[in-house]
Structure 1
Amino acid sequence: MSQQRPPLPPFTEETARRKVQLAEDAWNTRDPEKVALAYTEDSEWRNRDLFINGRREIVEFLTAKWERESGYRLRKELWAYTGNRIAVRFEYEYHDEQGQWFRAYGNENWEFDNNGLMRNRYASINDLPIAPQERRIAADGREGGPS
């Protein structure tokens, strides 16, 4: 029997919002193993120009991502939902090893299996260099910049 990750589809506005918040919370842990458990074993991703297949590749991708992107903090917002699909908009901030801060903006389309595991994730993302004083997401995850 497959693992379940509530809330399960079909989504309501309430359960879609909850699913988005759970995803935001998980990604903000920056724990690749924990994050990967929300995806099917054979999950397919498109992340920028990369195509990622399965949990093992998800863990490898996220490990490398969070080694490069220091101070990573993410915000997700429900955009739309229907049946077993959710669309989100997001932004996150991070800095590189030289200390340059960036804000990344994007959209994701998610598709879930009946057990609430994400089987498809398609992400379009753009990065914008920002000055430290332009940060909008505090280190503790709240709005309002650095803390």
Structure 2
Amino acid sequence: MTRPPLPPFDEASARTKVQLAEDGWNSRTPEKVALAYTPDSQWRNRAEIFQGRGRIVEFLTRKWARELEYRLIKELWAHSGNRIAVRFAYEYRDAGGKWFRAYGNENWEFDADGLMRRRIASINDLPIDEADRLFHWPLGPRPADHLGLTDLGL
């Protein structure tokens, strides 16, 4: 199975890969998202370290069960060969109605078929008031006319 665009990445293909990842994560469908990763993909997400698509599905299922109304924006930071670095922010609320904005950076490494074989994520959560939310599109992919991180001042 291949997952274009394929490495080595240039500016345009790296941006496309980042947008595809953002759209996938905004679907909040763990099984769909996991298909972008190699069967033995290695992950570090905050303090969790694990490997494999099955574990990715388990992780994302837990994540989106507690991070409600999740909306994500990713932005290309850098790219070289088969690696891409992104920065991102997402907003969500917990079951008690408290809102958060999470900020983070990810380092991605891809195999020759364009599947991500390694994902390293560092993330910080900031409690926000509902009035301070910036991501207001309907659940699902971010509309093309919605501002990105840089334009939002994030």
TM-score normalized by structure 2?
Answer: 0.90
Q: Deviations over 1:28-86 (max 9, x none)?
A: 00000000000000000000000021000000000000000000000000000000000
Q: Structure with the greater relative contact order (CA < 8 A, sep ≥ 6): 1 or 2?
A: 2
Residue number among 3, 6, 9 corresponding to 1:5 in the alignment:
3
> How many Å separate the matches in 1 of 2:134 and 2:126?
13
Are the aligned partners of 1:45 and 1:121 in contact in 2 as well (CA < 8 Å)? yes
* Aligned position for 1:29: 27
* Aligned position for 2:47: 49
Are the aligned partners of 1:71 and 1:139 in contact in 2 as well (CA < 8 Å)? no
SS at match of 1:73: strand
> How many Å separate the matches in 1 of 2:71 and 2:63?
13
Identical residues among aligned pairs (%) = 68
**What's the CA shift for 1:143?**
4.3
Are the aligned partners of 1:110 and 1:121 in contact in 2 as well (CA < 8 Å)? yes
List 4+ stretches of structure 1 deviating above 6 A: none
Residue number among 107, 110, 114 corresponding to 1:112 in the alignment:
110
Q: Deviations over 1:93-128 (max 9, x none)?
A: 000000000000000000000000000000000000
Count of residues in Structure 1 that have an aligned counterpart in Structure 2: 143
Unaligned runs of at least 5 residues, structure 1: none
SS at match of 2:41: strand
CA-based RMSD: 1.4
Unaligned runs of at least 5 residues, structure 2: 149-154
What amino acid is the match of 2:91? E
SS at match of 2:88: strand
